[in-house]
Structure 1
Amino acid sequence: MTKRDWVAWHDYYDLPGSSLKQRLETVRKWVGTALDEGASQVVSLCAGQGRDLLPVLAGHPRRGQVRARLVELDERNAGAARRMAPEGAEVVCGDAALLESYAGAVPADLVMVCGVFGNITTDDVLRTVRTLPQLCAPGAMVIWTRGRDEPDLVPVICEWFEGGGFERVSVEGAGTGFGVGVHRYTGPPVPLEPGGRMFTFVS
């Protein structure tokens, strides 16, 4: 298996009409909604260059009230994110699958799991969904993505969220190559278990 270049992968964001560009715009819309609603603590898993979060945060009138932690393993992408990050946004070069990467930054009001579920096993998707309450404050918004290739796992992921203390806010992307899910955590606070691992990338 050829190792994917995660820096070059970001180039698809710039292709007019690409499904990834459409996905980016949809995710940014929901980030803006979360900030409008008062989200003040944000974490982003496998954040890449932070293009879905950082430009929205930098242009938002509440940016000075928001603290964000972006976790990204690729040093080049982490460096690009740092150059874009406004004050209050911390970029950590580390393994986003490890719960210890979020110590001191959770519980969060906005949790971003974008570009993750399509690169891990189905079992790890389920494990991650079941673990996310450890990152969430009550009422937190979770924004997640998954490609719509067959078999389309988006409906199943929704069921897993909704069976694990989350309620559906929106699912977008039907008829396109992408899915963007938005769920709100309605359960109680769950303490962080720093020794845990949520997933392992397989592509």
Structure 2
Amino acid sequence: MTERDWVKWHDFYDQPGSSLERRLRTVRKWVEVALDEGASRVVSLCAGQGRDLLPVLAGHPRRGQVRARLVELDERNAAAARSIAPEGAEVVCGDAAVVRAYEGAVPADLVLVCGVFGNITDDDIRRTVATLPQLCAPGAMVIWTRGRHEPDLVPVICDWFEDAGFERVGVEGTDYGVGVHRYTGPPVPLEPGTRMFAFVGQ
């Protein structure tokens, strides 16, 4: 955890026209696409208050067929997520960087990595991308985000995904990039002790 107040950070979602509000709308659009396509197992890393996933899931006609696990370290955000979580969505207060947090919830059909890549080192981004096949079922969709400030790392992250067995579906946004990749590789065994990343100071 950094010194940033991750509860107040969510207030930017409520500012109409803000970059985070636009990012949220884009992520939700792709979450709905994945659910429409039949995703039934979902995991969300550093899920915060679950605003990108839970409202979409609660209103989706397939909500009763979906099992989701949201992992969030901040207890206040985890409590906020639980307050809006529909049946079938589990909110775990724990370290999302450790693969063990997803035991029993993967392989998933939809993996959310939103608000992570802007808070970790480039090496940890690459390590995380290389580890994501452990969380993915073949054909799984991964939705991720990264700010597009200079130097813009979004094109490089796309290359790392493709090196790890993912196919690019799309990249949207000019200030906040929202990337969508689909896993095209084989099943990969879970290595519970693997650590993907550590948050760094802002």
TM-score where L is the length of structure 1: 0.98
Identity %: 83
Equivalent residue, structure 2, for 1:19? 19
One-letter code aligned to 1:192: L
Any idea what SS the aligned residue of 2:149 has? coil
Equivalent residue letter for 1:89 = A
Give the Cα–Cα distance (whole angstroms) in 2 for the partners of residues 164 and 93 of structure 1. 28
Match in the other structure for 2:130: 130
Matching of residues 53-92 of structure 1 within 5 Å: 53-92=53-92
Deviant stretches of 4+, over 6 Å = none
Structure 1 alignment gaps of length 5 or more: none
Aligned counterparts of 1:94 and 1:54: Cα–Cα separation in 2: 18
Shift of 1:162: 0.8
What's the counterpart of residue 182 of structure 1? 180
Q: How does 1:100-139 map to 2 (within 5 A)?
A: 100-139=100-139
Aligned to 1:150: 150
One-letter amino acid matched to 2:18: S
Task: Give 2:196's aligned amino acid.
Answer: M
Q: Distance in 2 between matches of 1:131 and 1:195?
A: 12
Aligned partners of 2:101 and 2:169: how far apart in 1? 27
Q: Unaligned stretches of 5+ in structure 2?
A: none
Deviations 1:138-168 (A, max 9, x none): 0000000000010000000000001110000
State the 1:82 CA deviation.
Answer: 0.2
Aligned pair count reads 200
- Counterpart Cα distance in 1 of 2:79 and 2:51: 13
Q: Report Cα offsets for 1:158-190 as digits up to 9, x if no partner.
A: 0000111000001000xx310000000000000
Two-structure CA RMSD over aligned residues (Å)? 0.7
Q: Which residue identity is paired with 2:119?
A: N
CA–CA distance in 2 between the matches of 1:101 and 1:178?
Answer: 27
Distance in 1 (CA, whole Å) between partners of 2:27 and 2:71 is 17
The residue identity in structure 2 corresponding to 1:9 is W
- For residue 91 of structure 1, report the CA deviation from its aligned partner: 0.1
* Counterpart residue type for residue 75 of structure 2: E
Return the letter of the residue paired with 2:180.
V
Report how far residue 137 of structure 1 moved.
Answer: 0.1
C-alpha deviations, 1:116-138, integer Å up to 9, x for none? 00000000000000000000000
- SS of aligned partner of 2:118: helix
TM-score, structure 2 as length reference: 0.98
